[in-house]
Amino acid sequence: MENIIRTIDASNVDRYGFFCYKSKPKTQGFRQKHEWLGTCLAEGVRLKIIYDGDRSAGFIEYVPGEHTWRAVNAPGFMVIHCTWVVGSGKGNGYGARLLEQVEDEAVRLGMYGLATVSSGSTWLAKKGFFLRHGFEVVDQAAPTFELLAKRFDSSVNPAFPQDWESRLNRVPNGLVIYYSGQCPYHAMFITSLLNAASGMGIEAHTVELKTSQEARNHSPSAYGVFGVVYNGQLLSYRPMGGKTLHEMLERPDERLLP
Same domain, 28 and 115: yes
* C-alpha–C-alpha distance, residues 60 and 225, integer Å: 17
Asked if pLDDT for residue 129 goes beyond 80, the answer is yes
pLDDT bin (cut points 50, 70, 90) of residue 257 is low
Query: Can you tell me the mean pLDDT for 104-125?
Result: 90
- pLDDT tens per residue, range 44-80: 999 999 999 889 999 999 999 999 999 999 999 999 9
**Is the pLDDT higher at 113 or at 255?**
113
Same domain, 72 and 99: yes
Asked if pLDDT for residue 252 goes beyond 70, the answer is no
**Is the pLDDT higher at 123 or at 237?**
237
Q: What is the 3-state secondary structure (H, E, C) of 174-216?
A: CEEEEECCCCCCHHHHHHHHHHHHHHCCCCEEEEECCCHHHHH
Q: Which residues share a beta bridge with 179? A: 208, 226
pLDDT of residue 251: 76
Dihedral of CA atoms 235, 236, 242, 245 in degrees, nearest 10, equals: -30
Whether residue 50 contacts residue 5, with contact meaning beta carbons closer than 8 Å, is answered with yes
Which pTM was predicted? 0.94
- The residue from 151, 175, 196 where one domain ends is 151
pLDDT bin (cut points 50, 70, 90) of residue 181 is very high
DSSP state of 42: G
* C-alpha–C-alpha distance, residues 24 and 137, integer Å: 36
Dihedral of CA atoms 206, 211, 213, 219 in degrees, nearest 10, equals: 20
The answer as to whether 135 is a domain residue is yes
Q: What is the mean pLDDT of the chain?
A: 92
Asked if pLDDT for residue 168 goes beyond 90, the answer is yes
The conformational region for residue 5 under phi > 0 = left, psi -120 to 50 = alpha, else beta, is beta
pLDDT bin (cut points 50, 70, 90) of residue 253 is low
pLDDT of residue 83: 95
- The residue from 104, 129, 151 where one domain ends is 151
Same domain, 250 and 140: no
pLDDT of residue 174: 95
pLDDT bin (cut points 50, 70, 90) of residue 120 is confident
Percent of the chain whose predicted confidence (pLDDT) is above 70 = 95
Same domain, 131 and 196: no
Query: Can you tell me the mean pLDDT for 158-173?
Result: 96
The answer as to whether 191 is a domain residue is yes
| Residues counted in the chain | 258
Which residue range forms the structural domain that includes residue 128?
Answer: 5-151
| Number of domains into which the chain is organized | 2
Using omega within 30 degrees of 0 as the cis cutoff, is the peptide bond preceding 143 cis? Answer: yes
- pLDDT tens per residue, range 194-245: 999 999 999 999 999 999 999 999 999 999 999 999 999 999 998 889 999 9
